[in-house]
Chains A and B, each alone.
Chain A
Amino acid sequence: MEEELIALEHEDWRHFTRKAFTNRSFLAGALITAVVVAVALFSFAWTPYDVTKLVIADRLQSPNAAHWFGTDHFGRDILSMIMVGSRNSIAVALIAVGIGIAVGVPLGCWAAAKRGLADEVLMRASDIVFAFPALLSAVMITAIFGPGIVNAIIAIGIFNIPVFARVARGGALALWPREFVLAARASGKRAGLITVQHILPNIANLLLVQGTIQFSLGILAEAGLSYVGLGTQPPAPSWGRMLFEAQTMMTIAPHMAIVPGLAIIVTVLGLNLLGDGLRDVLDPRLRRQR
């Protein structure tokens, strides 16, 4: 165990890549995720049509040569909207994960270092947050403070905080009694410094895996919120919003619902595969706990 961890800390890059390239989950996930991110970045430079322009005359076209994925009820090109919408999904999920890490990880590390009352309070506080059904609460928050992308990010981000706090705390608690940490303490280093120098690098893998999972959950959550009309607001295209608008046109323009749904599925699938793959590649011991 001990040796493994230290070995992990200084893991050989070549060793990692060798494992990565033989892990099918990781390969498939990384490929899909890379394509989605590339599409999102590419959409800044070019999209087939301008998604801010409404061409009412061209509305509700089925997929055809001019519009590969058809057009929506305002005559906008759905392919272009999927491209631009991907930015939105990625941004919301990424920032929400960022909030979770930025607030949760320091809290978790702090609780693990202090133990006692601080730890107890943090755990109980996270129990309280966990007790709130996440989606319901997100709906409540966005409905109350006004629908919109910022509030959606906050609503999703809040529920990431205890997740990362717990992961960080669990990882850190396991590390504190270890020899190399004890050695650092014996040499008079303060808890904060030990956390930064010894704990964080060793829980980074855990956080990366959890981050990938929360990222994919964030994309689903954004889609759900936008679908009930509380997430991203027009004119910004968003996959969830496109589904919301497509719902009433299911019978006359099913492509409006099918295309964004597939975009969500592919992205979430890619991230989940990537997360699974990363877990296997980075730390084989984690596999059995899942």
Chain B
Amino acid sequence: MLSYALRRIAVVLITLLAASAIVFAVLEIVPGDPARLMLGMNAGEDAIAALREQMGLNQPLLIRYFSWLGGLLSGDFGRSYTYSVPVIDLVRERLVVSLPLALMALFLSTAIAIPVGIFSASRRGTASDAGVMAATQLGIAIPNFWFALLLVYVFAVTLRLVPAGGFPGWQAGFWPALASLLLPAIALALPQAAILSRVTRSALLDVMGEDYIRTARAKGLPANIVLWRHALRNALIPVLTILGLQFSFLLAGTIIIENVFYLPGLGRLVFQAITQRDLIVVESVVVLLVATVIIVNFLVDLAYAWADPRLRRR
């Protein structure tokens, strides 16, 4: 187990290194001079040159890569070109929006999907099963940003129940802040819930087909008890895997939803940073998100290997 873990950690590190090099290299060829952008249309060439020097843009490529990488390892993500504050501060400010949003969406999607999946599985082959499955097909097909637009139109603009966009900040109060995350979380959660219900249903049906469940039923245990006590617990493993993947997806994939609702989250930070050529922010946040995905996958792998020793050989 330990040697397996070590091997996997080595692979994770190499993957992270490669990803950081790719991100850095891609952003190096971005057209657009950040110094010129900051000073604008009427700036003189000498002012731009002075600013480039200040920002350290005149140093050679490799030196900048390694100093950036060294910084990342020691927790120093560098300073944002446009905001001239440490990137880590920006990330922290945005994370208090994105993280609760992702968690809320994850919670909503789980709270919807698990009961729906169980319901559907327990009525396999009936009309209600078919109805639920058709609804999940629809859920998967709806673009979340379009759904978000409709939500804004109905609940914010027409009914005025919740804010249409923006984030008042947690200092404005817990409930107002939470309310402004509600619509985005619903928009994000819906397609995820549709996918998760299908996974839950098929995982349950798979487990129900296993021998030990058949044995339990043959012993005369009521179907409900079999479902709850045995099948559900075992079906949770694939469901949790999907949840793990969805979390990293939600954290990174909020970029469009954050744009619809004008939330100052991580996705929006990257989007703005790209257009403002604040490359150091783009680099750091993308690497951070990539690292999250890699680490979550690693933990899932590890959990699998722990549960099923046969997998360690691979």
Contact = CB atoms under 8 A, between A and B. Distances in A.
Interface of A: 124, 127-128, 130-133, 135-137, 139-141, 143-144, 216, 220, 223-224, 227-228, 243, 246-247, 250-251, 254, 257, 261, 264-266, 268-269, 272-273, 288, 290
A140 B290 contact: no
A25 B4 CA distance: 43
B66 interface: no
A14 B146 CA distance: 42
Interface residues of B, number: 46
A139 B255 contact: yes
Given A127-B297, A144-B29, 11 more contacts: A124-B11, A131-B297, A133-B253, A133-B290, A224-B143, A227-B145, A243-B146, A250-B149, A250-B152, A261-B149, A265-B142
B255 A257 contact: no
B30 A133 contact: no
A131 B274 contact: no
A269 B141 CA distance: 5
B15 A272 contact: no
Contacts of A269: 137-138, 141
B153 interface: yes
Q: Is the interface of B mostly helix, strand, loop or mixed?
A: helix
B122 interface: no
A130 B252 CA distance: 13
Contact of B26 (A133, A140, A216): A140
Given A136-B270, A139-B255, A131 B142 contact: no
A140 B146 contact: no
Given A133-B248, A250-B157, A128 B143 contact: no
Contact of B143 (A223, A246, A247, A288): A223
B253 A135 contact: yes
Given A133-B293, A140-B26, A220 B255 contact: no
A136 B289 contact: yes
A290 to B, nearest CB: 6
Interface in B230-252: 248-249, 252
12 contacts: A128-B18, A133-B252, A133-B289, A135-B253, A137-B286, A143-B274, A220-B143, A227-B145, A243-B145, A261-B149, A264-B146, A265-B146
B54 interface: no
The 4 closest A-B pairs by CB, nearest first: A133-B252, A268-B141, A269-B141, A261-B146
B18 A250 contact: no
A261 B147 CA distance: 9
